[in-house]
C-alpha cells in the first residue's frame, strides 16, 4: 500500500510554473543545473522579507508615536483651556 504524500506550496508553484521541471525534479530526482542562481534568488527573497518586516515594525512604531503625540497634545490643550 502506497501512502499519500502531501504537496507543499512551493511544489504547487513549481508545477504551475513548469510541469516538466516539477516532474524532473520531484519524480526523476534530477536536480536543476542552475543551483547557484536558485540559491541567490532564495537569499534575495530572505533579504527582502527582512526589509518588509522591518518596514512593518517601523510603521507600527511611527503610528504609535503619532497617537501618543496627539494624546499629549490633547491633554495639553485641555489643561490650557481650564
Report if residue 65 sits inside a domain.
yes
Is residue 1 domain-resident?
Answer: no
Whether 32 maps to a domain, the answer reads yes
Check residue 68 and give its pLDDT: 97
Residue 25 structural domain: 9-81
Q: Would you say 31 and 25 are in contact if contact means Cβ atoms under 8 Å apart?
A: yes
Cell numbers that stand for 43 in this block:
537569499
- Flag whether 25 is in a domain: yes
**Overall number of domains in the chain:** 1
Q: Which stretches of the chain score pLDDT less than 70?
A: 1-2
Per the structure block, which three cell numbers stand in for 32? Answer: 536543476
Q: Is residue 3 part of a domain?
A: no
> C-alpha distances in angstroms, 79 versus 40, 63, 71?
58, 24, 12
Amino acid at each position: 500500500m502506497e501512502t499519500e504524500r502531501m504537496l507543499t506550496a512551493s511544489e504547487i508553484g513549481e508545477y504551475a510554473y513548469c510541469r516538466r521541471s516539477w516532474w524532473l525534479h520531484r519524480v526523476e530526482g534530477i536536480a536543476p543545473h542552475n543551483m547557484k542562481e536558485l540559491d541567490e534568488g532564495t537569499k534575495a527573497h530572505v533579504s527582502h522579507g527582512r526589509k518588509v518586516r522591518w518596514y512593518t515594525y517601523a510603521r507600527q512604531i511611527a503610528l504609535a508615536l503619532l497617537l501618543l503625540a496627539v494624546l499629549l497634545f490633547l491633554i495639553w490643550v485641555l489643561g490650557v483651556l481650564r
